[in-house]
Structure 1
């Protein structure tokens, strides 16, 4: 199924142009977003929860989907893992073709290069701070309460029944904390508690 995703950043802007182009391309289902690129996007979360192998996500332009190059690469990587193709009408990107995959691989290389540069600069800054007697960086590890929520977040995400926004609201954490919990849980799967972890609300019942 061809799935169209359209977004404008304010309520005053119109979606009609994007929807019209997506309809011409043959999209059968649409997710329509009126949110800023830096805020939560519930329609994007809904789409990510419902796409299935064999689907194709279609956007009018690349900047309608990703809030940054890194975010865009992460999303298309997720599509690939799910067996979903990606098409951007105005950027001539179509991962169903060899040329489209090549272009996106180039984008991914630039994004990885940028990430490594940032990492090197961070390490250099911390080294310079230590040499001057200052110690920086976040303290390692999570508290026991945070670990419980991290396992709950991981369990709910694996069920694929709730959107990321729903899970965030249930656990009462920020979006950044939610994804940090998922990353921590993924790295510590071998230490996962044997007893099923539930979210804090259901545990109170």
Structure 2
């Protein structure tokens, strides 16, 4: 069976470009999303439950099918495992050809690269912020308040709630500092 999948995106909000590409293919069924939302993909879910081994899904481009490299990888792995071919018309990519393995490998590597790249950029940004004096996370509690909370705790005259109200030091912060 031959299935088409269309989802509006910024460059083709009315789906005209996608419909034009799919027009020459005799499709068994055409699944058209009503919105471009990444989270609400009802027609894609229906398509994924419909396809069987040997079926072909025709899609305009990679972005129509998936919103991220990781999502694309997950979908392609799932479909390849089920022996379903995906043909991306604008990209001229066909997952059934002998290059399928290398295409999936490239997508896997891209997903890993993207993840590592984001992680590295985040670490660099955090280090630069630290050098400028901007520390990530919650600001540290003043040692004056912590010491006051510890003294109040040891005096046994105050409840934990009273200590928190007076010093602003939470129970967990107090206990953590008592251990040290």
Fold shared per TM-score above 0.5: yes
User: After the TM superposition, which residues 12-23 of structure 1 pair with which residues of structure 2 at under 5 Å, given as runs?
Assistant: 13-23=13-23
Higher-Rg structure is 2
* CA drift at 1:19: 2.3
Q: Give the TM-score normalised by structure 2.
A: 0.59
Aligned to 1:188: none
* CA drift at 1:119: 6.5
Gaps of 5+ in 2: 127-135, 141-180
Gaps of 5+ in 1: 134-205
1:98-148 C-alpha deviation (Å, 9 max, x unpaired):
23542332122111233355568889x8xxx9xx99xxxxxxxxxxxxxxx
Residues 1:42 and 2:42 aligned together: yes
The 2-side partners of 1:100 and 1:106 are apart by 10
Residues 1:53 and 2:53 aligned together: yes
* CA drift at 1:50: 1.1
Aligned to 1:114: 114
Q: How many residues align?
A: 128
CA contact (8 A) 2:4 2:31 kept: yes
CA contact (8 A) 1:56 1:86 kept: yes
CA contact (8 A) 1:9 1:34 kept: no
Q: Give the TM-score normalised by structure 1.
A: 0.52
Distance of aligned partners of 1:101 and 1:87 in 2 relative to their CA distance in 1, 3 Å threshold: farther
Question: What RMSD over aligned residues (CA atoms) do the two structures have, in Å?
Answer: 2.9
